Amino acid sequence: MADKIRYIVSACLAGMHTRYDGGATEDPEVMELVKRGLAIPLCPEQLGGLSTPREPAEFRGGDGNDVLEGRARLVGLETGEDKTLNFLKGAREVLRIAELVKPEEIILKEDSPSCGLRCVYIDGVLQKGSGVTAALLVRKGVKVRGVQSRCEKGPSKQV
């Protein structure tokens, strides 16, 4: 067993079925870190009270930084229901855990409304921006790395 937890990781990257669609987005490096006892897998959306599976959500009017400033919100794609408070709660819970664990780095799944570090869906288009959790962690000086982005291909519409 590891002497110290060194990472917090997006649970979906660790092979846990926590994505909005009930799936996982396995990342071999992340899975190995968890297997070796070096990482804690977390899902900000579940910590914020959202179920799995759940309605997909995207930003309206900005990204995670804008949500933190009260200028944007997150809405369900099917119902239009405002999910902003769930995303904020989940982000705060991840930060609280990070403050307790003091990881060297947090590894997050890109393109996610919570975990995207460089890329998220805003008004139906995958584009540069941060998820709520990623934005909060960066603001608090936590070292964050994003993996598995589709954004390098340029802006694209959500399917």
Q: Where are the domains of the chain?
A: 7-54+85-117+129-154
* pLDDT 10s digits, 75-105: 999 999 999 999 999 999 999 999 999 999 9
Residue 3: predicted pLDDT = 64
Residue 4: predicted pLDDT = 87
Q: Which segments in the chain show pLDDT lower than 50?
A: 1-2, 155-159
pTM for this prediction:
0.92
Backbone angles phi, psi at 125, to 5 degrees: -125, 130
Residue 75: predicted pLDDT = 98
Residue 151: predicted pLDDT = 80
